[in-house]
Structure 1
Amino acid sequence: MPQATIALRARIREEKKKKTKLPKSQGLIPAVLYGHKIVPKNLWLNYIEFEKVFGQAGESTLVDLAVEKEKPVKVLIQDYQADVLTSRINHVDFHQVRMDEKIHTEIGLKFIGEAPAVKELGGILVTNIHALEVSCLPQDLVHEIEVDLSPLKGLDDAIHVSDIKLPPGLALKAAGTEAVVLIQPPRAEEELAAMAAKPEEKLPEGAKEEAKPEEGEEVKPEKNDKK
C-alpha cells in the first residue's frame, strides 16, 4: 500500500557576514539541504509545520520538500539538533535522495500481538533492539517494521534479527544473529526478596571495629613518636 505524501515548505536562508538572531516570534528554524551531486542550500522552516511533519515521517519516511517556488524534491530528515533544556528542535539536516540509488538508514521496530509465554507462563519480555539498519531504494522505505510476538510461547524463547520478515525491497545491512526480543523466566519470590535485602558490610577477619566518639567528646589526633 503506497504511503501518503508528506509535504513541507521551506525558503532560502541568505548567509550574511554579520550573523543576526531571528526573532522567535517568527517561529522559524534553520535547516540545510544536501545530497549526491547537488549544491547544498541553507533554508528556513516554519517550526510548527516541521514539528507536524517530523511526527509523521520521523527519520525513515520520504518527505516532499518544496523550496519556495521550486519543484518539490524527495528528502529524508537525516539529522537534527535540539535544545538540551527544552528539547525544542533548533536545526535540521535534509538529505535529498535519488530514486535510483540505494540508501542506508535505520527503521524502527513496532511490536505487535501478545507473547503467550508472558500471558500464560508469567515470563518477562525483554527488548534488546528497537531499530534495524537496512538498505533499499527510496521508494521501498517503510515507516516501521512490524515484529509479531505470538511465536514466543515458551520460557527462554527469543526472536532474532534473522527471524524478522522484512517488507519487499529491504535488505539487512549486516547479518542478524542477535536477539531482538526474548523471554526470561519469572523470578522466584525468594530471589526477589534476596535482591531487595541490603547486604551488611562485614569487616575482614581479625579486624576491629573503630570506636566512635560519644556526642560532645573531643577527638584528639594520634601522636607519631619519633625516635
Structure 2
Amino acid sequence: MAQTRIPAETRTEFGKGAARRTRRAGKIPAVLYGHGTDPVHLSLPSLEFAAVVREQGRNAVLELDVAGSKPQLALTKTVVVHPLRPYIEHVDLLVIKRGEKVEVELDVVVTGDAAPGSLVSQDLNTVVVEADALNIPDQVEVSLEGAEIGTHYYARDLDLPRGVELRTDPDYLVVQVIAAPTEADLEAEIDTEGAGVVEEPSDEEQAAESSEGSESGSEQ
C-alpha cells in the first residue's frame, strides 16, 4: 500500500464551535495518537483527504507533513461522516512505524456466480487481520464461481496474502451457497402467513382461565 503525503496543521481550539470553523475553512478536524505519545489535534485538507480515502479505502496510510515537525506516518482508524450531508466530520489517525504490524478490518468481497438455482448468503462482511503497516491489503475476495449448493466458506478458508494473519474467529461463517426458493415455496409461505392460524389454548391454560373467572365471580 502506497502512502500519500498530505499537509496537516496543529489545532489549538477545541469544541463544537471550533470544529465547525475548521470545516468551514475547508479542513477536517483530526486527532493523531499512538506509540505512547500525547494526542495531537490536527486539521487536514478536506478534498485531499477525501481523495485518499476514495483511492485507498478504510485503511488509508498517510505521511503527515506538519510544519515544524518531521513527516509522520499514520493509519486512518476512524472516519466519521455526517449522517445526512456528504462531508467528513472527524478523523482519528494512528501513529505507525515502518516494519510494524497493525490490526485492521478488511472488507470481504464475494465474486463470481454460483451454480444455477442457488442463492448466496453472506454472513460476514468484514474480517480483522494483522498485517504490515505499509502492506495492508485493500480487501479479501471470495470466489464463488460455479460453487454448488451446500458450499460454505468460513473465516479459516479465506485466501489471505502472504504475511497477513487472521484475527477473526476462524470458525465464523463468512458466506454460504443455499438453494434458491422456488415459486411454490414462496406461494406456500404467503399462504401460511395469510391463513391467520390461531393456536388453541392448552388444557392447563383453559383451566387457569376458568379458575380466574370463578374467583372473579365470587368477589362480586
Tell me the TM-score range normalised by the shorter chain: 0.7 to 0.9
Shift of 1:71: 3.2
CA RMSD in angstroms, aligned pairs only: 2.8
Q: Which residue of 2 aligns with 1:219?
A: none
- Measure the CA separation in 2 of the matches of 1:98 and 1:172: 21
Q: Which residue of 2 aligns with 1:185?
A: 179
Residue 6 to residue 147, structure 1, CA distance change in 2 (3 Å): farther
**1:26-51: per-residue Cα shift (whole Å, max 9, x none)?**
21221111111323211112212221
Q: Which residue of 1 aligns with 2:55?
A: 56
Q: Which residue of 1 aligns with 2:42?
A: 43
Q: Contact 2:155 / 2:168 at 8 angstroms: preserved in 1?
A: no
More strand by share: 2
- 1:135 is matched with which residue: 119, 125, 130? 130
Give the unaligned 5+ runs of structure 2.
202-218
Larger radius of gyration: 1
- Measure the CA separation in 2 of the matches of 1:150 and 1:18: 50
Name the SS of the counterpart of 2:107 in structure 1. strand
More helix by share: 2
**1:57-107: per-residue Cα shift (whole Å, max 9, x none)?**
223242222223533222111113232332532111100112343211111
Q: Contact 1:61 / 1:142 at 8 angstroms: preserved in 2?
A: no
TM-score normalised by structure 1 residue count: 0.76
TM-score normalised by structure 2 residue count: 0.78
- Measure the CA separation in 2 of the matches of 1:176 and 1:144: 17
Q: Output aligned runs, 1:1-227, within 5 Å.
A: 3-15=1-13, 20=18, 21-22=20-21, 25-68=24-67, 70-86=69-85, 88-115=87-114, 117=115, 121-150=116-145, 152=147, 154-197=148-191, 198-201=193-196
The worse-fitting range, judged by mean Cα deviation, of 14-23 and 121-130 is: 14-23
Give the unaligned 5+ runs of structure 1.
207-225
Residue 200 to residue 41, structure 1, CA distance change in 2 (3 Å): same
Identity in percent: 26
Residue 158 to residue 37, structure 1, CA distance change in 2 (3 Å): same
Residue 123 to residue 17, structure 1, CA distance change in 2 (3 Å): closer
